[in-house]
Amino acid sequence: EIVLTQSPGTLSLSPGERATLSCRASQSVSSTYFAWYQQKPGQAPRLLIYGASSRATGIPDRFSGSGSGTDFTLTISRLEPEDFAVYYCQQYGSSPFTFGPGTKVDIK
């Protein structure tokens, strides 16, 4: 099983700041099969990034993904008020299709 570890657990930032979220895999993951999701309280998750760096439909370009192998990054270039949420990474190339524990981005 591929274990995903996200850091930091919580990121406290102000609107307009840059957010950098990390996800590390216990073994190499093909970039093709790596995703990021956003979840707000009381809502279902939303796919942000697939294939490590491709934005899903309707996702603003302030969200970007990068990385390969065991280290992946989600960057939010300038935080908008609606971006404060929990973010999960996931690999879907090797069953079980594991999620990371999440990074909470909250308002400083």
Partner 1 sequence: EVQLLESGGGLVQPGGSLTLSCAASGFTFSDFPMNWVRQAPGKGLEWVSAISSSAGTTYYADSAKGRFTISRDNSKNTLYLQMNTLRAEDTAVYLCATGLQIDYYFYYAMDVWGQGTTVTVS
Interface contacts to partner 1, rule CB under 8 A: 1, 32-33, 35, 37, 39, 44-47, 50-51, 54, 56, 86, 88, 90, 92, 95-102
Nearest to partner 1 of 17, 101 (CB atom): 101
CA angle 11–14–17, rounded 5-degree value = 85
Closest contact distance (angstroms) between CB of 73 and partner 1 is 18
Distance CA 44, CA 18 (A): 24
CA quadruple 64, 14, 38, 60: dihedral, nearest 10 = -40
| Least Å from the CB of residue 106 to partner 1 | 15
Strands, E, within 9-101: which ranges?
Answer: 10-13, 19-29, 34-39, 46-50, 54-55, 63-76, 86-91
Give the residue from 106, 74, 107 showing the smallest Cα distance to 90.
74
CB of 16 to partner 1, least distance (A): 27
Q: Shortest distance, CB of residue 104 to partner 1, whole angstroms?
A: 10
Given the complex with partner 1, which of 50 and 63 has the nearer CB atom?
A: 50
C-beta closer to partner 1: residue 39 or 77: 39
